[in-house]
């Protein structure tokens, strides 16, 4: 990931060198725009980046000796920009063909490895001249490019594009894995037997929304009352969205502070809605999974998914016997094969874990009760 640090350069006499460089870059841009257009008229195609680059070298050696005034990477960058503009033009319908730019519209040039050097503090050397910039904050990360930019007021800016360092994990490694089963009564049940409910405020808000919807439908179309009711509803929705996100984030972090691998079933929101109704979207399982994956990536942990066709509820997590007639109302059931009494959701969560780990590498072990189940099977 890239991040850009932008600072204003102090105005001084030497800035004219930078302005000249920008102007030279704009001359090169326009030269190559003309060239690609001529080429297209003759051959009916775009010559491509490498042909342009080769041509640039030839031009410098032949009659464009003064182009040497601009750092060779900065020159190359002009062609890269043109090439990118052409790629956009080819790929995106709405993108226009790269065109000529007036002097004042071409505003920057970019250096990569050479042609610049940080001299410590707020000083920088660019193409044999020293400059100072208003260093408002320190630069963190490895600098990949340096761009000099002129704004509409004629001020010059220096932009350092850096490779952002990957986020450092904050949560501890535990070596544990867990399986989850999503539901309505309990938002989720873990294979260790933890039951997590959606927080009260969220549930209350969801009831309020139904109320507000009813009120809205009773208001007269076009009336101020209706507008007000709509505004209230929108506000409530925003509030719910925030509450939900907050709950999801906290839960994801809580899970990954105890486990390195979280195993879930591939979600089928359509089927869940059919089974459980509208409340499924209220709880936002799909967005929870996204957040779970986001936190996992940030913390160097893992979300492992099993295929959605696996009968996690109907399979006995002790002996693998399948109870096909399990109905939705049965919250508990006894396995007729081994006699185990199962809580429906806990049993499913254990199966999800086992299924996910059966393809797992060594080094991750299920924790707690599920560990005993996994080991004994
Ligand atoms: Zn059994």
What is the pLDDT tens value at each position of the chain, 377 positions in all? Answer: 788 999 999 999 999 999 999 999 999 999 999 999 999 999 999 999 999 999 999 999 988 888 988 999 999 999 999 999 999 999 888 888 999 999 889 999 999 989 999 998 899 999 999 999 999 899 988 899 999 999 988 899 999 999 887 778 889 999 999 999 998 889 999 999 999 998 877 777 878 888 888 888 888 888 888 888 888 888 888 888 888 899 999 999 999 999 999 999 988 878 788 877 767 677 789 889 999 999 999 899 999 999 888 899 999 999 999 999 998 889 999 999 999 999 999 999 999 999 999 865 444 445 544 443 343 33
- 171: in domain: no
Find the radius of gyration of the CA atoms of the chain. Answer: 31
DSSP assignment of 281-336 equals HHHTHHHHHHHHHHHHHHHT-EEEEE-TTS-TTTB-TTT--B-TT--TT-SEEE-T
| pLDDT number for residue 359 | 66
Name the domain count of the chain. 2
Compute the distance from residue 344 Cα to the ligand 1 centre, in Å: 13
61 & 123 share domain? yes
- 169: in domain: no
- 115: in domain: yes
193 & 156 share domain? no
Domain boundary among 109, 129, 163: 163
| pLDDT number for residue 372 | 38
Compute the distance from residue 323 Cα to the ligand 1 centre, in Å: 9
Compute the distance from residue 315 Cα to the ligand 1 centre, in Å: 8
Compute the distance from residue 306 Cα to the ligand 1 centre, in Å: 21
Whether residue 340 contacts residue 316, with contact meaning beta carbons closer than 8 Å, is answered with yes
| pLDDT number for residue 251 | 97
306 & 227 share domain? yes
149 & 50 share domain? yes
| pLDDT number for residue 370 | 43
| pLDDT number for residue 198 | 85
| Structural domain boundaries, residue 103 | 2-163
102 & 192 share domain? no
- 117: in domain: yes
217 & 352 share domain? yes
Compute the distance from residue 260 Cα to the ligand 1 centre, in Å: 28
CA 337, 340, 344 angle in degrees (round to 5)? 110
Identify the DSSP state of 12.
-
Compute the distance from residue 119 Cα to the ligand 1 centre, in Å: 72
321 & 345 share domain? yes
129 & 78 share domain? yes
Compute the distance from residue 292 Cα to the ligand 1 centre, in Å: 31
12 & 157 share domain? yes
Domain boundary among 114, 135, 163: 163
122 & 152 share domain? yes
- 168: in domain: no
127 & 225 share domain? no
Compute the distance from residue 357 Cα to the ligand 1 centre, in Å: 19
Compute the distance from residue 320 Cα to the ligand 1 centre, in Å: 6
- 16: in domain: yes
Is the four-CA dihedral 304, 310, 315, 319 of positive or negative sign? negative
- 170: in domain: no
Domain boundary among 163, 188, 212: 163
80 & 25 share domain? yes
């Amino acid at each position: 990931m890239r991040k850009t640090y932008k600072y204003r350069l102090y105005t001084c006499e030497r800035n004219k060198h930078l302005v000249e460089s920008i102007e030279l870059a704009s001359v090169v841009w326009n030269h190559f725009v003309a060239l690609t257009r001529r080429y297209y008229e003759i051959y009916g195609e775009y010559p491509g980046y490498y042909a342009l680059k080769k041509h640039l070298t030839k031009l410098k050696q032949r009659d464009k000796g003064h182009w040497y005034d601009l750092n060779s990477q900065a020159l190359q960058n002009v062609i890269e920009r043109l090439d990118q503009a052409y790629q956009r033009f080819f790929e995106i319908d709405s993108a226009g063909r790269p065109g000529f730019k007036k002097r004042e519209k071409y505003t920057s040039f970019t250096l990569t490895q050479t042609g610049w050097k940080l001299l410590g503090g707020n000083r920088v050397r660019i193409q044999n001249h020293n400059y100072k910039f208003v260093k408002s904050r320190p630069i963190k990360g490895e600098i990949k490019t340096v761009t000099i930019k002129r704004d509409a007021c004629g001020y010059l800016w220096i932009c350092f594009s850096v490779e952002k360092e990957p986020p450092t994990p904050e949560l501890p490694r535990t070596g544990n894995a867990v399986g989850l089963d999503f539901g309505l009564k309990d938002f989720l049940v873990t294979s260790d037997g933890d039951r997590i409910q959606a927080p009260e405020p969220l549930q209350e808000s969801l009831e309020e929304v139904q109320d507000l919807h009813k009120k809205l439908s009773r208001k007269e179309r076009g009336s101020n009352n209706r507008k007000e009711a709509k505004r209230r509803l929108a506000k409530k929705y925003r509030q719910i969205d925030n509450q939900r996100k907050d709950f999801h984030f906290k839960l994801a972090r809580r899970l990954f502070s105890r486990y390195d691998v979280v195993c879930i079933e591939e979600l089928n929101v359509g089927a869940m809605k059919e089974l459980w109704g509208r409340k499924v979207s209220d709880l936002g399982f799909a967005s929870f999974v996204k957040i779970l994956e986001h936190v996992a990536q940030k913390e160097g942990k893992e979300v492992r998914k099993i295929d959605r066709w696996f009968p996690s509820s109907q399979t006995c997590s002790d002996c693998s016997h399948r109870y096909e007639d399990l109905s939705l109302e049965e919250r508990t059931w006894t396995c007729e094969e081994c006699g185990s009494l199962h809580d429906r959701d806990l049993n499913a969560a254990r199966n999800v874990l086992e299924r996910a780990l059966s393809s797992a590498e060594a080094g991750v072990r299920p924790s707690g009760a599920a560990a005993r189940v996994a080991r004994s099977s």
